[in-house]
Structure 1
Amino acid sequence: MAFVPAPRDNVAVVSVDAAHVRTSPSLAGGVIAQVKYGSQRPAIGQNADWFNVALPDSRQGWVAAGWITMRVNNDPANGYHGG
């Protein structure tokens, strides 16, 4: 599956104790960071079962879709308001 950009206001919320952020959308990708439960990272795009996320230090990496929940910042039902 090809890379698909995420809508601008999508946020990936970690739904497990800790999730590895990898260099590529595969278990073979090297681990560049770990994000903890409840962490919220901007979602940049998706490739099959992986989401590309922005890290606080300006790097980007991939997190398995099963470890995160997607939220839309501007959806009042989520209690999130982008700005």
Structure 2
Amino acid sequence: MQVERVQKWIISALVLTTAAHFAAGLVILANTVDRPGAFPVLLVIATVVCVLAIVGVRVINQRSILTPWLLFAGIPVAVGFYFS
């Protein structure tokens, strides 16, 4: 396996892991904050973080940005509403 390919795999895993942790933290924060308008805003920010992470991985791997994987960016919203 080429070194460049391994580097792309590793940076992709790091981008997704970091973004997933950040989005999960935003969802947890959204469910614990007392301000009434903060809940939807934090869930939207978590979704945007997920979209950017997926697009970033696609760009790193030189693939098309439009992909069915973008549907997974809605997971933070679903989890946030489930636990609220």
Identify the TM-score tier after normalising by the shorter chain: under 0.3
TM-score normalised over the length of structure 1: 0.23
Question: Which structure has the greater CA radius of gyration?
Answer: 2
TM-score by length of 2: 0.23
Greater share of strand: 1
The structure with more helix, counted as a fraction of residues = 2
